[in-house]
Structure 1
């Protein structure tokens, strides 16, 4: 099982960020076989420091996934003064971060490796990625959706169902096509269309769950 670490999910020191970036780079280059020795060498630090910060290899992997997932920022809203405009901007920003991170080479490699490990029951990387990636990202947005519902700007019965719909609208089939190596889907083409895709997904989400649309 993943080892709990004391480092905050979204707050790492600059030195820790450099170590976690080195670990991500190694995952992209090698796709597997990440070791404390290799990370220490790449990040120019001692293994003792890695063990002190992260506990063990699973702890390092957990922090690495958390660092990557933290790039999808949690929207900051004032629940007592939430307007339709600020809610929409917050959800749009979240969608932009989500799509940008998911289509990146790091996330694609990390997910491919995690799926392979899970299929082989090789180690706990699959569970680490699931808990600290997709599920952690989900937990960041659901309170914002619920705040929108409390302010009567959104209407839905389940924030879980609303989030799943939102995720599907934003990501569509892009992630699975990248994971399967669809050559027709180039990185430059995806990145060039992120803004258009994000705005379209946000429009569709508010069409489905916006309070005015629900009352029409």
Structure 2
């Protein structure tokens, strides 16, 4: 399967099985035999769909990253309020996906492999995960700047600021086994606060 082709429903179900195995048993549980048994398919099908183990891991990352609904640049003019709503939806969804047991398991696996000198999964997470999400959101921020809703600045830099305001140190803390407070688990409120702070930094003071 070409990388630019969407996963079929059957392939998505297989990848979900692989993710569940990773969460439940860690790297040792993530074997082609175990995935095939759990998903009810053959190892030959796994190889046909995803290639070798690295290809399977890349597909798992891509599938998990697709759960973050990064906003695309909107067609035509849009209001500042529409921009804020899009960013709030993105921020809330980002927190939920990044904080999930599945994302944490993937990142822990990448860290463990990197400690042994294997950085392939880590690079895949950056490229297929954070990189894809960032590219889409950056285009929206760039369009907002062109329409005068945001002050003119490097859009990629603005995205990194937004990302930091949304997640803060949450991801690192969760990777280290910390638990979120009740207030931090209120993703809608956290997202609104992050976007509000972002607009204070980048929101245009006057609009045409």
Alignment TM-score, normalising by the size of structure 2? 0.91
What is the deviation of 1:158?
1.0
Residue of structure 2 in register with 1:105 after alignment:
101
Conserved 8 A contact 1:79-1:147: no
Aligned equivalents of 1:77 and 1:86: distance in 2? Answer: 12
Residue of structure 1 in register with 2:203 after alignment:
210
Conserved 8 A contact 2:73-2:137: no
List aligned pairs for 1:50-199, cutoff 5 A: 50-122=46-118, 124-182=120-178, 184-185=179-180, 190-191=184-185, 193-199=186-192
Task: Note the residue ranges of structure 2 that are not aligned, 5 or more in a row.
Answer: none
Task: Note the residue ranges of structure 1 that are not aligned, 5 or more in a row.
Answer: none
What is the deviation of 1:189?
5.9
| Worse-matched range after superposition: 152-161 or 104-113 | 152-161
Alignment TM-score, normalising by the size of structure 1? 0.88
Conserved 8 A contact 1:7-1:53: no
| 1:212 counterpart SS class | coil
Residue of structure 1 in register with 2:26 after alignment:
31
